[in-house]
């Protein structure tokens, strides 16, 4: 927090438009700001209240919502708000709430009005801010921005597994609902829909006094409250059902139905997921995934954040993988033992862009025998060949389920991870870096649950292994050159270009993995890892914010580069010439790389902090 007038002046001097002021003017304006500490969930102002002035976030995060509760903005340090929420009569047209503990700086309304009246540049800056805010508020909320807990029907009606079918049907009728949650000791055991009543009871002439658990869909697919609307839509399109239970720590907290989604227009990704789920063979998949480059251009052009774009594109790869698994089973027959197909690499982290190879593996139930292995070899080849035909080219390092090394019983996998952790030689470090990003895609997911927890606990206890992983991560460093320039590729086809993957996003991916190991964080998405490390105190407040901002800029720049190539009729790649950026953009990109390099240095010292 600022401890003196000089501290406050220096802080404001890092923010536009104050960075353009002369020292004397900046000192005068800094003296007009008041410090306001805030706690998590503090309401800063509400819709219709008098606005006290312009707020600047010094530390913390603030959520701005409309009167109807829709999220307008999610702001962090150095962002301003307040003046953009003013209505004509001087009261606010939005709500503002602190998301975490922090500190705000308040410039009272009269001082703010004097500021914009006396400086044309400042007046134009805040006029543009207001215009952008108005446009954002007027823009319809998309499914990619809507959390499931805002879509679902809350306080779901439930009954126990022993409730009769007759009573369950009457319960649905009396509450005018199309689905009923079935619980066992307050935990979700299944779901029954009107469709189930028609197909499994009426059509079959089943005795309606029988317990409802006999017709329910047991252990249904669920989503957490933090999922987004497109997750629901994609699940419905792929799995062909109309109700998705929302579960928090095993307890049913809501149900999302197709009716809940009718007010939203289906996104292009949803139609692609639907077409993938209905593909009759691998050739059909290629025809669908051929639309992904154009989809990337549309998503980037619409202003979606990088993590939204890559999540939606990865959803298509996930659906394609599951469809190929189903087609393989149709061709080969049912599997002899349970199995689980997992993705690692960018698909595992849900970070696929317009350029993606495949990284995957198979975990088999320990009951598997040698006689069963040819089945899984054929399944792996069918799926990997199909993915290659759909544009997800074979992994150059052979990190695929077609490699017998990566198609093994769970007990063998458990031994792999244990050896990598206990004897972290260079190969073990490389393999662990890939395999710590595993995410289940299709099959029996419980095969991975205990293994993931055991591995994280084992790794976190082994400081030598973590130190080796930190050292291994430094093989990928940001492209920082001398004299505020960039270190570009020195020779070959991409000479004088920046590798925005290996030297851009990968160093941050590596840092996120290290934080996950140290904190035993189960998520594999890089931004989710950074956010969890930030909120969990694994990195400092200032360091965490800086690293998140740096990652956002680097990842967004990479996506925009790929979209530019596609729009020009080319193929997307990760090699960007620095001269395509403006001087302003190059300066900020270099600053982002400096943040990453600083955090790498901090990680080697076991601190993970900046300042």
Per-residue pLDDT at 71: 64
What pLDDT digit, counting tens, does each position of 177-212 carry? 989 999 998 899 999 999 999 999 999 899 999 999
Q: Which domain holds residue 169?
A: 148-261
Whether 96 and 172 map to the same domain: the answer is no
CA angle 602, 605, 608 (to 5 degrees): 40
> Which H or E run includes 597?
helix 583-604
- Residue pair 602/533 in contact (Cβ under 8 Å)? The answer is no
Give Cβ neighbours of residue 165 (< 8 Å, ≥ 6 apart): 197, 201, 206, 207, 208, 209, 210, 211, 212, 214, 215
Per-residue pLDDT at 104: 92
Pick the closest to residue 548 from 36, 83, 3, 100 (CA basis): 100
Count CB neighbours of 254 within 10 A.
Answer: 21
Whether 9 and 80 map to the same domain: the answer is yes
Residue 327 CA: distances (Å) to CA of 214, 235, 324, 442: 29, 18, 5, 12
Whether 314 and 405 map to the same domain: the answer is yes
Whether the pLDDT of residue 344 is over 90: the answer is yes
Percent of the chain with pLDDT over 70: 90
Per-residue pLDDT at 125: 66
> Which pTM was predicted?
0.63
Residue 582 CA: distances (Å) to CA of 71, 301, 495, 588: 32, 19, 20, 10
The residue with greater pLDDT, 414 or 67, is 414
The span from the CA of 339 to the CA of 363, in Å, is 6
Which two structure tokens, joined as six digits, stand for 81? 């708000």
Give Cβ neighbours of residue 248 (< 8 Å, ≥ 6 apart): 224, 225
Per the structure, the count of domains in the chain is 4
Cα R_g (the chain), whole angstroms: 27
The residue with greater pLDDT, 267 or 420, is 420
Whether the pLDDT of residue 540 is over 70: the answer is yes
Q: For the domain that residue 531 is a member of, what is the CATH number?
A: 1.20.120
Whether 248 and 278 map to the same domain: the answer is no
Q: For the domain that residue 283 is a member of, what is the CATH number?
A: 3.30.460.10
Per-residue pLDDT at 52: 84
Whether the pLDDT of residue 127 is over 70: the answer is no
Where is the domain boundary, 235, 261, 287? 261
Region 566-570: what's the mean pLDDT?
A: 86
With respect to residue 610, please indicate whether it lies within any of the assigned structural domains: no
Per-residue pLDDT at 483: 60
**In which residue are the tokens 């941050």 written?**
508
Where is the domain boundary, 87, 108, 138? 138
With respect to residue 126, please indicate whether it lies within any of the assigned structural domains: yes
Pick the closest to residue 160 from 176, 183, 141 (CA basis): 183
With respect to residue 468, please indicate whether it lies within any of the assigned structural domains: no
Q: For the domain that residue 165 is a member of, what is the CATH number?
A: 3.10.580.10
Where is the domain boundary, 227, 261, 295? 261
CA angle 475, 486, 351 (to 5 degrees): 55
Whether the pLDDT of residue 88 is over 90: the answer is no
Whether 489 and 529 map to the same domain: the answer is yes
Whether the pLDDT of residue 80 is over 70: the answer is yes
Whether 121 and 175 map to the same domain: the answer is no
Beta-strand relationship, 53-59 and 102-108: antiparallel
Per-residue pLDDT at 81: 83
What pLDDT digit, counting tens, does each position of 267-279 carry? 467 778 888 998 9
With respect to residue 143, please indicate whether it lies within any of the assigned structural domains: no
Q: Count of residues for the chain?
A: 611
**Highest mean pLDDT (candidates 11-20, 140-149, 518-527):** 518-527
The span from the CA of 470 to the CA of 475, in Å, is 10
Region 13-39: what's the mean pLDDT?
A: 86
Whether 252 and 297 map to the same domain: the answer is no
Q: Is 209 exposed, middle or buried (0-12, 13-18, 19+ CB in 10 A)?
A: exposed
Confidence of residue 68 (pLDDT cuts 50, 70, 90): low
Per-residue pLDDT at 264: 44
Query: 197 — phi, psi (to 5°)?
Result: -60, -45
With respect to residue 467, please indicate whether it lies within any of the assigned structural domains: no
Whether 323 and 408 map to the same domain: the answer is yes
Count CB neighbours of 210 within 10 A.
Answer: 13
Whether the pLDDT of residue 86 is over 60: the answer is no
Whether 503 and 457 map to the same domain: the answer is no
Whether the pLDDT of residue 136 is over 50: the answer is no
Which two structure tokens, joined as six digits, stand for 515? 């934080």
Burial code (b: 16+ CB inside 10 Å, e: under 16) for 545-573 equals bbbbbbbbbbbbbbbbbbbebbeeeeebb
Region 398-424: what's the mean pLDDT?
A: 94
Region 519-547: what's the mean pLDDT?
A: 91
Whether 315 and 422 map to the same domain: the answer is yes
What pLDDT digit, counting tens, does each position of 305-337 carry? 899 899 999 999 999 999 999 999 999 999 999
Pick the closest to residue 527 from 274, 335, 351, 394 (CA basis): 351
Whether 304 and 187 map to the same domain: the answer is no
The span from the CA of 464 to the CA of 423, in Å, is 9
Whether 305 and 255 map to the same domain: the answer is no
Beta-strand relationship, 95-98 and 360-364: unpaired
Count CB neighbours of 404 within 10 A.
Answer: 12
- Residue pair 267/233 in contact (Cβ under 8 Å)? The answer is yes
Confidence of residue 67 (pLDDT cuts 50, 70, 90): low
| H-helix segments, 476-540 | 506-519, 526-535
With respect to residue 225, please indicate whether it lies within any of the assigned structural domains: yes
- Residue pair 563/297 in contact (Cβ under 8 Å)? The answer is yes
Whether the pLDDT of residue 137 is over 70: the answer is no
The span from the CA of 117 to the CA of 339, in Å, is 68
Per-residue pLDDT at 155: 81
Average pLDDT, the chain: 86
With respect to residue 216, please indicate whether it lies within any of the assigned structural domains: yes
The span from the CA of 585 to the CA of 206, in Å, is 68
With respect to residue 611, please indicate whether it lies within any of the assigned structural domains: no
The residue with greater pLDDT, 122 or 388, is 388
The residue with greater pLDDT, 518 or 338, is 338
- Residue pair 17/129 in contact (Cβ under 8 Å)? The answer is no
**Highest mean pLDDT (candidates 158-172, 274-288, 417-431, 450-464):** 158-172
The span from the CA of 153 to the CA of 21, in Å, is 52
């Amino acid at each position: 927090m600022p401890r003196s007038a000089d501290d406050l002046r220096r802080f404001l001097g890092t923010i536009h438009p104050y960075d353009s002021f002369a020292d004397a003017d900046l000192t005068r304006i800094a003296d007009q700001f008041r410090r306001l500490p805030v706690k998590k969930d503090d309401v800063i102002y509400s819709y219709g209240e008098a606005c006290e002035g312009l707020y600047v976030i010094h530390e913390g995060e603030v959520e701005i919502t409309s009167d109807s509760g829709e999220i307008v903005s999610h702001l962090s340090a150095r962002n301003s708000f307040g003046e953009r929420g003013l209505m004509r009569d001087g009261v606010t047209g939005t709500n503002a709430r602190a998301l975490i503990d922090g500190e705000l700086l308040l410039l009272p309304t009269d001082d703010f009005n004097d500021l914009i009246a006396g400086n044309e540049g400042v007046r134009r800056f805040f006029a543009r801010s207001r215009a952008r805010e108005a446009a954002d508020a007027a823009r319809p909320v998309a499914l990619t921005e809507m959390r499931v807990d805002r879509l679902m029907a809350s306080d779901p009606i439930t009954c126990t597994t022993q409730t009769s079918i007759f009573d369950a049907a009457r319960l649905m009728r009396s509450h005018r609902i199309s689905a009923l949650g079935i619980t066992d000791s307050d935990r979700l055991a299944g779901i029954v829909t009107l469709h189930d009543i028609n197909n499994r009871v009426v059509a079959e002439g089943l005795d309606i006094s029988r317990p409802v658990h006999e017709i329910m869909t047991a252990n249904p697919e669920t989503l957490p409250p933090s999922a987004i609307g497109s997750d629901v839509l994609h699940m419905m399109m792929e799995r062909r059902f109309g109700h998705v239970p929302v579960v928090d720590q095993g307890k049913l907290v809501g149900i999302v139905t197709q009716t809940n989604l009718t007010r939203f227009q289906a996104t292009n990704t949803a139609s692609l997921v639907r077409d993938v789920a209905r593909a009759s063979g691998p050739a059909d998949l290629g025809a669908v995934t051929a639309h992904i480059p154009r989809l990337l251009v549309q998503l980037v052009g619409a202003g979606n954040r990088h993590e939204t774009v890559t999540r939606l594109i990865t959803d298509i790869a996930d659906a394609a993988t599951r469809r190929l698994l189903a087609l393989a089973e149709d061709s080969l027959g049912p599997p002899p033992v349970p199995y689980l197909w997992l993705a690692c690499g960018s698909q595992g982290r849900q970070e696929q862009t317009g350029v993606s190879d495949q990284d995957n593996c198979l975990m088999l139930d320990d009951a598997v025998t040698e006689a069963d292995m040819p089945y899984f070899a054929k399944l792996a080849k069918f799926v990997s060949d199909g993915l290659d035909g759909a544009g997800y080219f074979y992994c150059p390092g052979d990190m695929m389920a077609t490699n017998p090394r990566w198609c093994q019983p769970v007990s063998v996998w458990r031994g792999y991870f244990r050896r990598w952790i206990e004897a972290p030689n260079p190969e073990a470090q490389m393999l662990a870096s890939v395999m710590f990003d595993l995410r289940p895609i299709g099959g029996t997911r419980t095969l991975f649950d205990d293994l993931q927890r055991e591995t994280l606990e084992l790794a976190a206890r082994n400081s030598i292994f973590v130190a080796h992983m930190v050292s291994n991560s430094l093989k990928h460093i940001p492209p920082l050159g001398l004299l505020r320039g960039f270190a570009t590729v020195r020779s070959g086809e991409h000479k004088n270009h920046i590798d925005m993957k290996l030297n851009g996003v990968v160093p941050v991916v590596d840092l996120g993995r290290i934080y996950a190991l140290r904190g035993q964080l189960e998520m594999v998405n890089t931004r989710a890892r950074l956010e969890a490390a930030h909120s969990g105190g694994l990195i400092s407040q200032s360091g965490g914010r800086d690293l998140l901002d740096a990652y956002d800029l680097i990842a967004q720049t990479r996506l925009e580069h790929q979209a530019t190539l596609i729009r020009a009729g080319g193929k997307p790649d990760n090699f960007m010439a620095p001269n395509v950026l403006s001087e302003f953009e190059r300066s900020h990109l270099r600053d982002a790389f400096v943040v990453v390099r600083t955090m790498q240095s901090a990680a080697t010292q076991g601190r993970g902090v900046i300042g």
